[in-house]
């Protein structure tokens, strides 16, 4: 599978805009918390992983429906869902890699 750089970048920008919007809503709701950024980040990460999981499950369901001969599901729908799922997973892996890299960098800083 070949992922085009501009498409991945555009998808990541779209996710960042969505995350900022969700983050703003969460900040307004959680103003009484001691450390709202920690909660916001964990909720955003949980939502992102849930979204990736939902896309993968939807792709699996469409693929099974196509294999069973469902006339309401086309090959194009399955391929598009598969690409969406793959792109979301790859973006999540990249975010994870950046988090691990940042963690290692912070841990190697002298105190």
**How far apart, in whole angstroms, are the C-alpha atoms of residue 81 and residue 97?**
24
Look at the chain and report how many structural domains it folds into. Answer: 1
pLDDT band per the 50, 70, 90 thresholds, residue 4:
low
Q: Do the Cβ atoms of 37 and 19 come closer than 8 Å?
A: no
Residue 59 contacts residue 78 (beta carbons within 8 Å): yes
Residues spanned by the domain of 73:
5-107
pTM for this prediction: 0.59
pLDDT reported for residue 64: 94
Q: What is the pLDDT of residues 36-90, one digit of tens each?
A: 555 677 888 888 899 999 999 999 999 999 999 999 999 999 999 999 999 999 9
% of residues, the chain, pLDDT over 90: 50
């Amino acid at each position: 599978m070949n992922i085009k750089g501009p498409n991945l970048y555009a998808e990541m920008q779209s996710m960042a805009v969505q995350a900022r919007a969700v983050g703003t809503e969460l900040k307004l709701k959680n103003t009484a918390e001691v450390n709202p950024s920690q909660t916001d980040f964990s909720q955003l990460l949980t939502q992102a992983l849930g979204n990736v999981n939902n896309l993968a499950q939807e792709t699996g369901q469409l693929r099974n429906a196509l294999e069973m001969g469902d006339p309401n599901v086309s090959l194009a729908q399955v391929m598009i869902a598969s690409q969406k799922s793959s792109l979301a997973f790859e973006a999540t892996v990249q975010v994870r890699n950046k988090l691990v890299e940042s963690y290692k960098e912070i841990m190697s800083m002298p105190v």
